[in-house]
Amino acid sequence: MKKLFYVVTFAIVFFWGCNPPERNCVEFHDGSFTFTEMIDGEIHTTTFTRKGDLEISEYRGHIDSASVRWVNDCEYVLKNLNPKNKQEEKPLHMKILKTEGDTYTFEYSVMGSSDKRRGKVVKY
């Protein structure tokens, strides 16, 4: 009887604690957003607007445009439309991991690279 109690308790805790994160990714396909990150001890902010298959971003006074190709509701590929060097030619793979209100947490990497980074975006 004790064993059954422990098995049932474990099952309840396991299944209750394993709720997947909220992912309402479609709400973030279009809109205006900000992304803030710390680089070498300084806070840097990028603002961008995404509509359809186009994303226009502004970072430190520099404006870029990229094509957006949605792989599924929560993953997309960004490709710079006017690359200025070999590094900018490489597409970025973006994956929305979790949504919460007007924010989403994402993971990104250069296509083909195993080096992944995370960030948080706010929709305004």
Query: Mean pLDDT, consecutive 10-residue segments, the chain of 124 residues?
Result: 59 58 92 93 95 96 97 98 94 97 96 93 97
Mind listing the pLDDT tens digit for each residue in 89-105?
999 999 999 999 999 99
Please state the φ and ψ torsions of residue 50, each to the nearest 5 degrees.
-120, 130
CATH superfamily, domain at 21-123: Calycin beta-barrel core domain (2.40.128.20)
Please state the φ and ψ torsions of residue 121, each to the nearest 5 degrees.
-115, 140
Distance from CA of residue 92 to its chain's centroid?
11
In this prediction the pTM is: 0.81
Mind listing the pLDDT tens digit for each residue in 79-88?
999 999 999 9
> Per the structure block, which two tokens stand in for 81?
């439309």
Q: What does the domain layout of the chain look like in residue ranges?
A: 21-123
